[in-house]
Amino acid sequence: MKIVVIGGSGLIGSKLVNKLREHGHEVIAASPSSGVNTLTGEGLAEALKGASVVVDVTNSPSWEDAAVLKFFETSTRNLLAYEAAAGVGHHVALSVVGTERLLASGFFRAKMAQENLIKGSSIPYSIVRATQFFEFVKGIADFSTDGNTVRLPSVLIQPMAADDVASAVSRIAMGSPVNDTVEVGGPEKFRLDELVRRGLAARKDLREVVADPHAGYYGVELSEKTLVPDDDARLGETRFEDWLSRSASQIQPTKPLTTAVAAVSNRASGAQ
């Protein structure tokens, strides 16, 4: 099959492209860096010619409320229109577990809009909702940092390795459209504050993580199970501790705090 991965240069996209190629498919890694832009339509018709499946693993460069909504709405509308014209038979998109419970955040309103456009289109689809990636734990800490303290509620979270996300998406992309949403998660549940504490310790990051029931998650008040998938979610195999020890050689020690905080403050509110 010819499979086009939109966002094929990203964290999940690059892993996904490799996995699909290992199965012998013709895979196009499409993104602005290779001349394919879902916001302008540039390069889309050519990339989609003869494609059976399109997988959307893009993310918005800006997480500011209006910008992220505009990104996912425009990008998804364009993509679905070009897919219909090219006769694509399966649209696969990556979304986030609990999106409908996180709508106080502009980022998740944008993901919800993306999902609704897909459900309303004529293209057979599969939506894969994943939990937070292990690779994203430091991002959660950065967003919740005040001075030298990270404040997070002690709610449940069931994160997973990006590699397991890519495996799950590749299996779905190679199968028939489910015309539904499939959830994937990690093999273990953690308390959010404890997960971030462990993740930062592995980076020798000296920030203190404090459990605070009133601290938000990207501005959203969480309850015990907001971030947790349903019982029938497909689970990845990689455990956080194993991933941490395998990644230890690649994990960059955290930069001085002032740099990290400056980087965070440059990002307007958003998530993922």
Ligand X SMILES: NC(=O)c1ccc[n+]([C@@H]2O[C@H](COP(=O)([O-])OP(=O)(O)OC[C@H]3O[C@@H](n4cnc5c(N)ncnc54)[C@H](OP(=O)(O)O)[C@@H]3O)[C@@H](O)[C@H]2O)c1
Report the nearest approach of ligand X to the CB of residue 227 (Å): 10
Q: Which stretch binds ligand X (CB under 6 A): 10-18, 81-89, 168-176, 211-219?
A: 10-18
Distance of closest approach, residue 50 Cβ to ligand X, in angstroms: 19
**Contact present, 47 and 30 (Cβ < 8 Å):** yes
| Interaction of residue 182 with ligand X, rule CB under 6 A | no
**Residue 130 touches ligand X, criterion: CB under 6 A:** yes
Where residue 253 falls (left for φ over 0; alpha for ψ -120 to 50; beta otherwise) is beta
Q: Which of 36, 16, 7, 8 is nearest to 172 (CA)?
A: 16
SS3 28: strand
One residue of 1, 39, 113, 261 binding ligand X per CB under 6 A:
39
The 3-state DSSP class for residue 5 equals strand
**Which residues between 65 and 94 bind ligand X (CB under 6 A)?**
75, 94
Question: Do 138 and 203 form a contact (C-beta atoms < 8 A)?
Answer: yes
Please give the single-letter amino acid code of residue 211: A
The closest of 177, 199, 21, 218 to 91, measured between CA atoms, is: 177
- Dist. CA 150–CA 193, nearest whole Å: 9
Q: Does 10 bind ligand X (CB under 6 A)?
A: yes
Residue 228 binds to ligand X (criterion: CB under 6 A)? no
* Out of 1, 2, 21, 37, the residue judged to bind ligand X by CB under 6 A: 37
Residue (196 or 208) nearer to ligand X, CB = 196
Q: Does 57 bind ligand X (CB under 6 A)?
A: yes
CA angle 7, 8, 12 (to 5 degrees): 85
6 binds ligand X (CB under 6 A): yes
Span near ligand X by CB under 6 A; candidates 26-34, 81-89, 212-220, 245-253: 26-34
Binding site for ligand X (CB under 6 A): 6-7, 9-13, 31-33, 36-39, 57-59, 61, 75, 94, 96, 111, 130, 132-133, 136, 272
